[in-house]
């Protein structure tokens, strides 16, 4: 916790005060293609910007295409040679996720990196268009489905190129603060016992368990793909839009 607050570097030489540019300095990602969900704002946008700076082909997957195109232009303004494309993806819609995956696969390009970044946080109780509690639907199920739809493409890419694939789930230390029984699989849509904070923690716990199990299975299969969970720290982005009182404390 002290390192998180102070930014003191850890064993890697980097800490919470390190920037994405510092961490990726010297990396040439020319041969890499990365999909970033929620890449139009916040952490996703900074990730897209820096990966494009390192010459990766970046796909910004976003629900708001106006914001996604604005993000693309922002990146191009400072980096005219950046390879950035935008594609429509609404993670709280199974149909949108399937359409996105089909459209990407139809491009017939490699996929080296999948960063499952997008999410909602502490929102009032509501259901997705598929009838699932919104935080669980968007943060976990959407990314779970997307990852599975793109997994064969990532396996093929790793085999053909010999380059290790990377799947990254943006989770949170909030996974420790969920319902007493952990994930309430039989009460996901129970509005009577809904807590916006615990429901968020539940979805982040699911992200972490998904990464752990997928990593185990890929290792068993001998696939050249790593899967990791990342706690990005406390950052005031649009994700905090339902948390005005919480944000005012910092």
Positions annotated as catalytic residues are 194
Separation in Å, CA 56 to CA 48, 68, 70, 110: 9, 17, 19, 12
């Amino acid at each position: 916790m002290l390192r998180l607050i102070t930014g003191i570097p850890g064993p890697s030489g980097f800490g919470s005060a390190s920037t994405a540019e510092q961490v990726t300095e010297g990396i040439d990602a020319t041969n890499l293609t990365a999909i970033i969900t929620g890449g139009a704002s916040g952490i996703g946008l900074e990730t897209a910007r820096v990966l494009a700076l390192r010459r990766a082909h970046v796909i910004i997957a976003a629900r708001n295409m106006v914001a996604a195109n604005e993000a693309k232009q922002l990146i191009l303004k400072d980096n005219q040679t950046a390879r950035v494309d935008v594609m429509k993806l609404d993670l709280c819609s199974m149909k949108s996720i399937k359409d996105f995956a089909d459209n990407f696969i139809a491009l017939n390009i490699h996929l080296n990196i999948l960063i499952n970044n997008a999410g909602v946080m502490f929102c009032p109780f509501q259901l997705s268009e598929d009838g699932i509690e919104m935080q669980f639907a968007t943060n976990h199920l959407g990314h779970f489905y997307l990852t599975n739809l793109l997994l064969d493409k990532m396996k093929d890419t790793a085999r053909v190129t010999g380059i290790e694939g990377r799947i990254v789930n943006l989770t949170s230390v909030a996974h420790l603060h969920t319902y007493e029984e952990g994930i309430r699989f039989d009460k996901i849509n129970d509005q009577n016992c809904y807590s916006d904070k615990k429901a968020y923690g539940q979805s982040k716990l699911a992200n972490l368990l998904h990464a752990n199990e997928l990593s185990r299975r890929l290792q068993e299969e001998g696939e050249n793909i790593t899967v990791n969970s990342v706690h990005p720290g406390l950052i005031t982005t649009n994700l905090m839009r339902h948390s005005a009182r919480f944000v005012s404390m910092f």
